[in-house]
Structure 1
Amino acid sequence: MEDFDKQTADEYIILAEDDGRILGFSSLYLPDDFIHLLFVHPEVSGQGVGKELLSASIEKMNRPARLKCVSENHKALKFYEKNGWKKVVEEEKDGEKYWVMEY
């Protein structure tokens, strides 16, 4: 939790819950209209939790909204593109490539 608090300082957190159980979350840096983190528990992957979190995140931000996705995470890239996000530019940092995407 300490690391989570440090990584998401000054960010707006959206939780997906079911009967008190956390199913996923998104973390938004609203001054830049940027989705910093979006995580869905593996047990509920493919059940619409990610789509709901993404929709709720988009509602909180101005356009264009942005996010970064690791280039090797083909499943996530496909998910974002299916939900209206577009690849803008592929960048590299610390030896890892990622796509900057916009909605």
Structure 2
Amino acid sequence: MGTYPLSASPLCGTFLSGQGIGSRLLASLRAWLPLPYTLKCWTRNTRALAFYAKHGWRELGSGGQGEETYQLLQFEAASNQPPPAEHTT
């Protein structure tokens, strides 16, 4: 199993929010990235943490110090289905 670094700018969440882009990106992972998926999300990024929880990610742990704390999250499909994709207009 390899590590595939991905990064999203915090600015993406401000003007692209609610368009289904993040949901479609998560759904597309199955085509090129083996399960399970693991990522770090800043603890202060409550919108992102809620987004990942809504899509079935669970917390494995946490780390960091002060304002640099993060939650370690993992997605492991219960079946052969990809994370849910949503599109809102």
TM-score normalized with structure 1 length: 0.59
Q: Where does residue 2 of structure 2 map in the other structure?
A: 31
Distance change (3 Å), C-alpha of 1:35 and 1:101? farther
- Choose the corresponding residue for 1:68, options 23, 34, 40: 40
Structure 2 residues without counterparts, runs of 5 or longer: 76-89
Is 1:98 aligned to residue 70 of structure 2? yes
Residue 46 of structure 2 is aligned to residue 55 of structure 1: no
Query: 3-state SS of the aligned residue for 2:7?
Result: strand
* Bigger share in strand: 1
Instruction: Provide the alpha-carbon RMSD of the alignment.
Output: 2.3
Change (3 A) 1:42 1:58: farther
- Higher RCO, 1 vs 2 (CA within 8 Å, ≥6 residues apart): 2
2:44–2:67 Cα contact (<8 Å) kept:
no
Deviation at 1:35, TM superposition (A): 5.2
